[in-house]
Structure 1
Amino acid sequence: MKMKSVNFFKSKLFLIQVGIALLITTVLIWITLISLRWYTHHGEELEVPDLYGMSIEKAGNELETEQLVFSIYDSIYNPKYAPGTVLDQRPLAGAIVKRGRSLFLTINANKPEQIRFPNLVDNSFRQAYELLVTNGFQIGKLEYANNQFFNLVLYPKYNGDSIHAGSMVDKGASIDLVLGRGDNNEVTAPNLIGRTNTQAKEKIILSNLNLGNVRFDQSISTHFDSIQAKVWQQNPSVTNNQRLSPGSRIDIWLTRDSVKLQQADSLLQKSLSNLIF
């Protein structure tokens, strides 16, 4: 019996069966790999178009042409635009994605959504900041008034008037904060070189300062350019190590010129090295 088994494994029939099994396995693996490449669109890359300011219908047609899809993520109200206009997109224009990727769009609402305003009084500035952002509000201007507690929220303002907790306010509204000045508190300018406009504004606000003038150079010609542009110059500069009163303004200059940005970063690093040594 044992001899028969050994002879079978050496037989031509067995070798043929093994060969067929290996061939079938190889073919199945090849089909699986091809299917995965097709399913994941391996190697296929598309540049996300700029949909800002388009109607949702036009944006949908544009994405269909590019073999992309979309879903409406949020809606805000801006009286400057018609209802249904695309006001934001994720991923941003210019991003590289695969065919079939879903974009998340924020569109202009028919009318502003009303949100109950949170209680900010007697909170720290950082707590108030998080509450406002979480509830869909924008941070406007920081003002400082006499109070022994630095960065304590004395009261918020909307359209120039104080606003109370529980009031119904338009989602996306810009809220100013009146904060305690404390005793002899000073701050320094943050490093903004290489940051986008949105990133720079957030950094400035969180440094207890206000965004001043925003200037774009000749490399900026479209809305997409303005989103991608980065700070190459600021005033006051971080290298001056200047002490500023809370609420002071910082002006920024933005560009898409990579050479200008590299030169600005090199100059910054050299100046910081001189300050250290």
Structure 2
Amino acid sequence: MKSANFFRSKLFLIQVGIALVTTIALVWITLLSLGWYTHHGEELKVPDLYGMSLEEADVKINTDHLRYTIYDSIYNSDFAPGTVLDQRPFAGAIVKRKRNIFLTINSMKPEQVRFPNLVDNSFRQAYELLITNGFKIGKLEYAENQFFNLVLFPKYMGDTIHAGSMIDKGATVDLVLGKGANRGIIAPNLLGKSTAQAKEKIILSNMNLGKITFDQTITNHLDSIQAKVWKQTPAFNENRRIKVGSNINIWLTRDSVKLHQADSIMQRRLSNLLY
């Protein structure tokens, strides 16, 4: 009976009230602290570090309340040692404060790697071997041979290179391939692709990247990364075949109106082909 009276007493209600207020206050303080600790809602734009020295990048990253890790180093003779050549996330990405930026910097000298055996492989196999070993694909040349896309020999700096040779990692390698009985191929549709995407698609379509032209919307490195193809020559045409190894020139922009107009023209062209 006394217990029942106690639970209805003023003292008990006061204690319950104090406990409730204390609990709410603790929850509020915890949420506030978590928001401060994780910088909830605070967004930063990743700066463009491409071409900066590591010292310049360090200052910029710290000023923007970010962090960085040197993830890899490659050699590029066009830049001074220690220059930032790549970053992840890319410039312009939205991240939280204290986000770690992974940098690829230019090394003091190129790493030497053993060149793989490409002869008598298919072009696709050779492509995968080169990319996996850190090489770049240069020009595709076609020579008389009964087997289409068979690797006859690779070339480095204009000369034939043999399997087992030690060359610079990241070097550009040209491939001489068999022409077979191929009578031409259709140019790939590159509209809306970035430069890197367009180059990959061109190479895998047995052609070469020709001239790259940026319009007035491209003013810096970040723009060039985000730019998309709005025009190409030869154009994609299912009724026209061109010689393997041909060059494809591309024009790039960040103008959404220009990209939309190019896409609309392509869709109408495709519709005419279908109907």
Shorter-chain TM-score tier: over 0.9
Separation in 1 of the partners of 2:17 and 2:239?
A: 76
Structure 1 counterpart of 2:251: 253
Greater mean alpha carbon deviation, residues 180-189 or residues 130-139: 180-189
Structure 2 counterpart of 1:233: 231
Query: Secondary structure of the residue that 1:147 maps to in structure 2?
Result: coil
Structure 2 counterpart of 1:121: 119
Gaps of 5+ in 1: none
Separation in 2 of the partners of 1:17 and 1:109?
A: 68
One-letter amino acid of the counterpart of residue 248, structure 2:
I
Do the aligned partners of 1:150 and 1:185 also contact (CA within 8 Å) in 2?
A: no
Do the aligned partners of 2:186 and 2:238 also contact (CA within 8 Å) in 1?
A: no
Do the aligned partners of 2:148 and 2:182 also contact (CA within 8 Å) in 1?
A: no
Q: 1:189 aligns with which of 187, 190, 193?
A: 187
Q: How many residues align?
A: 275
Q: 2:44 aligned with 1:46, yes or no?
A: yes
Separation in 2 of the partners of 1:157 and 1:150?
A: 18
Q: 2:88 aligns with which of 87, 90, 115?
A: 90
Q: 2:108 aligned with 1:110, yes or no?
A: yes
Greater mean alpha carbon deviation, residues 121-130 or residues 4-13: 4-13
User: Mapping of 1:114-193 within 5 angstroms?
Assistant: 114-193=112-191
Deviations 1:1-54 (A, max 9, x none): xx5554454444444444344333323332332233223322212222211211
Separation in 1 of the partners of 2:17 and 2:152?
A: 82
Structure 2 counterpart of 1:210: 208
Separation in 2 of the partners of 1:217 and 1:243?
A: 28
Shift of 1:167: 0.9
Separation in 2 of the partners of 1:23 and 1:164?
A: 79
What's the TM-score once normalised by structure 2's chain length?
0.92
Shift of 1:59: 0.8
Separation in 1 of the partners of 2:90 and 2:239?
A: 35
Gaps of 5+ in 2: none
Shift of 1:210: 0.8
Separation in 1 of the partners of 2:266 and 2:181?
A: 32
RMSD in angstroms over aligned alpha carbons? 1.9
What's the TM-score once normalised by structure 1's chain length?
0.92
